[in-house]
Amino acid sequence: MEYQIILIGCGTVGQGFLEILDRKAELLRDVYKFEPKVIAITDMLKGSLLAPDGIQLKKLLEVLKAGKKLNDYPGPKEKTEDYLDPIDLIEQVEADILAEVTYTDIKTGEPATSYIKKALRTGKHVVTSNKGPAALHYHELKELAHLNQRHFRIEGTVMSGTPVFHLFETGLAGNEIREVKGILNGTTNFILSQMELEEMEYDEALKLAQELGYAEADPTADVEGFDAVAKVVILANAIMRGKIKPDEVNRQGISTLRKQQIIEAREAGLRYKLIARVKKVNNHIEASVTPEKLPLTDPLAGVMGAQNALTFDTDLLGKVTIQGAGAGRLETGFSILSDMLAISKSGKN
Ligand code: HSE
């Protein structure tokens, strides 16, 4: 079945998603009966492009790879603009799915939340990898989607395309989830791994993480645990049915940890990890992000480098751990595809 898609945001994730659609077009059509047609894209830096007959992705990707803008797309189009306001675009263009992959603002969730609301109210399914709306307004957006009989899907918000929410919704369906506990930030896990394996001091490991492109120039969101807090709130609300806010999470980052502490832990058979945890305590939900010393028998202790992992503690199956990428162009681009395939599979067009 054909799905008309609007893409808001054409940075790393948006382009990764477009590349996947291009590379997998035949497989998606033949095996999954999914025929995506991207008809509109708008991006604050790259401009805007409308092509109701479908954008030719190969041509567009060439343009973008050359560092040019959407305005330079040479294929058939209705129009290009320096920048079309996403709200106007969503209102004016009829489409089946909005893929929202703009930047995360964890304080307000905006402007992404407004885009998502507009899309749901104008009858579009929404797929997003943006943590802001999911962390701050999950229940409201889910309810709005329900009222409009649309999907609101967020696989890419936690562990990029690693199928955390798909696992919860399908393979683990029917279980009570008593606790989720994981490594949800790749930058800090990389730094801790370097401090232990290479015996680096924190500052040296952080510098390497920045050089390799894991950590931002301002690494606060990662190293002080704010990024993991956003993700743990999403898990608390979407998986554990909580109603918590980021400032209710007990948070401690890794910036005060010293090499000596990590080596002492290693000598005691323990390993420091920045653990994000949600659990039910007396019928209410508690969430935390703190460095913990794990025994090496814990599956999370074996997760090194920039990888992420999450353990579900379930009533019927015991503990189930999923490990995989937590970020990346194709990895997060894939989360957008996987949510679209879930929409397609549900038969709701
Ligand atoms: N900065 C995050 C991390 C990736 O290091 O895991 C995006 O969520």
Residues 6+ apart with CB under 8 A from 7: 14, 17, 18, 38, 40, 41, 42, 99, 101
Q: What is the pLDDT of residue 256?
A: 97
- Closest ligand 1 atom to residue 326 Cα is 6
Question: Would you say residue 348 has pLDDT above 60?
Answer: no
How many other CB atoms sit within 10 Å of the CB of residue 37?
17
Average pLDDT over residues 158-182: 98
Task: Set out the domains of the chain in order of their start, with CATH numbers.
Answer: 2-162+329-346 (3.40.50.720), 173-324 (3.30.360.10)
Separation of 231 CA from ligand 1 center, angstroms? 10
Catalytic entry in 124, 142, 231, 273: 231
- Closest ligand 1 atom to residue 216 Cα is 1
Q: What is the pLDDT of residue 329?
A: 96
Q: What is the pLDDT of residue 349?
A: 57
Share of the chain above pLDDT 70, in %: 99
Chain segment 233-253, per-residue pLDDT in tens: 999 999 999 999 999 999 999
Q: Reply yes or no on whether 231 is catalytic.
A: yes
186 lines ligand 1 (CB under 6 A): yes
Residue 129 phi/psi, 5-degree rounding, is -115, 15
Q: What is the pLDDT of residue 242?
A: 96
- Closest ligand 1 atom to residue 190 Cα is 5
Residue 280 identity:
K
* DSSP codes of every residue in 60-87: HHHHHHTT--GGG--S--SEEES---HH
187 lines ligand 1 (CB under 6 A): yes
Question: Would you say residue 8 has pLDDT above 60?
Answer: yes
Q: What is the pLDDT of residue 347?
A: 83
Separation of 295 CA from ligand 1 center, angstroms? 25
Separation of 19 CA from ligand 1 center, angstroms? 21
161 lines ligand 1 (CB under 6 A): no
